[in-house]
Amino acid sequence: MTSAVLHVLYQALLMRSFRLGDFGQMYPIARGTAPLVVTVLAAVFVHE
């Protein structure tokens, strides 16, 4: 359930960023942010 909520939230924020900013700038930022967030969350909550 949490995974689905996070996925929907990510997609909503991704679409909003594409509407607000230039696609050429927003796409690399958005695609590069997800692995960073997952790494930080894994380190904090799972101690990996």
Measuring CA to CA, which residue among 15, 14, 19, 20 is closest to residue 33? 14
Write out the two tokens for 34.
Answer: 């997800």
Q: How far apart are CA 21 and CA 15, in angstroms?
A: 10
| Average pLDDT for 5-26 | 89
User: Could you tell me the pTM of the whole model?
Assistant: 0.59
Q: How confident is the model at residue 8 (pLDDT cuts 50, 70, 90)?
A: very high
Calculate the average pLDDT of the chain: 89
The answer to whether 10 and 18 have CB atoms below 8 angstroms apart is no
